[in-house]
Structure formats: C-alpha cells, structure tokens
C-alpha cells in the first residue's frame, strides 16, 4: 500500500539563528559525546529511537557499513541520559564546504514529552556549530541542516522551528508503507 510522505528540509546559516530551549529542571539529564566509535551502540540508539516511527533505512547495513559511519572524521553522536539511562541522541554528519547535517535526532519513546528533546536538539546544534573545536582539520561550520518528515513525531517540526531552523525545501512523494520495525527488528 502506498502512502503520501512529506519531507521538510530546514537549516540554520549562523550560530545566532539558534534559539536554545530551557534545559529540564534538576540535574537528572546529562548530554555526553559517545567518543569511542561503536557500531553496536549507534545501532542500538537508532533502533531504540526510530523503531516506532519507521526508521528503517539503516537496518540492512552491515557491521562494516555502520563502522564507516561512526568512524567518519568529524561525525559525532551526542547522547542524552536521564539518571544514567540513554534517553535519546543527536548524530552529526559533517559534509563538504562547512556544512553539518543533523542526520538523526530523537528520543526513546519513554522519554518523549518530558522537555528533553528541545534541550538535546539545542545542545546538538551548538555542537554542530563548534565542530571545528574538536575537529580542527575541518572547515568552520557555515550551515547546519536537517530534514524531518510526516512520519516523525507530532512535535518534531515545532521543535525545529522553535530552535530557529528555517524551512528551505518541501517534497511530497508516494512511497510504499513500511512496517514499523520496533526497537527489536527481527525479534518474534
């Protein structure tokens, strides 16, 4: 069965575009960079966050392909933890000419709606803008962009707009509906 899928692309072109969210109250939420490239951890985050919203484009990747993604110079994964438990992540993909894509961003379902998402997105965008502080061989960031679609969570677009992203492209296409793989793809 085919469904209509809308994909929106958004961008920031200056660090001053960012309108940070207020961090959640208390000190229970921390955000830490996953500095040791780990295909297993990356795949865990991907399936835990995207399993209920049809993230399936990476499910068929081999271990070697996951490894290439996490070992790409300048690629970073920042993980939000609540009381030591992973709550969500933001994955930065450095591209040519000072462009950084937020390739994946989201929260594990149990952590949605608790004011963690805006804080994590704000933090991830800041890390995209200051990427050359950690990767001095890269060009300074001049653009941060991302895309979201009509299958993402109902608050995704509002979060991006509130953080200062501007819409620059919209595509509508008919696609074959895929099953929701859940956080344990392949499990029976």
Ordered domains of the chain (ranges, CATH): 2-176 (3.40.630.30)
State residue 152's pLDDT score: 85
pLDDT at 89: 98
What percentage of the chain exceeds 90 in pLDDT? Answer: 77
CB 73 within 8 A of CB 135: yes
Q: How confident is the model at residue 159 (pLDDT cuts 50, 70, 90)?
A: very high
What single string gives the DSSP state of each residue in 57-113?
TTTT--HHHHHHHHTSTT-EEEEEEETTEEEEEEEEEE-GGGEEEEEEEEE-GGGTT
Interval 113-142: pLDDT, tens? 888 999 999 999 999 999 999 999 999 999
**Position 179 confidence tier, pLDDT thresholds 50, 70, 90:** confident
pLDDT mean over 79-100: 97
Question: Residue 113 has what pLDDT?
Answer: 87
Is this model's pTM higher than 0.75 or not? Answer: yes
- Reported as a single tens digit per residue, the pLDDT across 22-72 is 988 877 999 999 999 999 999 999 999 998 888 888 989 999 999 999 999
The predicted pLDDT at position 186 comes to 66
Mean pLDDT for the chain overall: 93
Q: What is the pLDDT of residue 187?
A: 62
């Amino acid at each position: 069965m085919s469904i209509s899928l809308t994909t929106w692309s958004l961008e920031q072109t200056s660090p001053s575009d960012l309108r940070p969210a207020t961090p959640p109250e208390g000190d229970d939420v921390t955000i830490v960079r996953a500095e040791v490239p780990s295909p297993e951890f990356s795949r865990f985050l991907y399936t835990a966050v995207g399993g209920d919203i049809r993230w399936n484009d990476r499910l068929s990747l081999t271990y070697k392909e996951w490894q290439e993604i996490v070992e790409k110079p300048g690629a970073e994964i920042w993980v939000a933890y609540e009381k030591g438990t992973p709550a969500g992540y933001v994955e930065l993909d450095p591209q040519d000419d000072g462009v950084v894509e937020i390739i994946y961003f989201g929260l594990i379902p149990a952590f949605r709606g608790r004011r963690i998402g805006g804080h994590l997105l704000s933090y991830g965008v800041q890390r995209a803008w200051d990427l050359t502080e950690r990767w001095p061989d890269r060009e300074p960031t001049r653009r941060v962009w991302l895309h979201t679609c009509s299958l993402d969570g109902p608050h995704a677009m509002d979060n991006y707009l509130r953080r200062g992203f501007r819409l620059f492209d919209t595509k509508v296409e008919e696609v074959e509906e895929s099953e929701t793989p859940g956080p344990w793809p392949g499990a029976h």
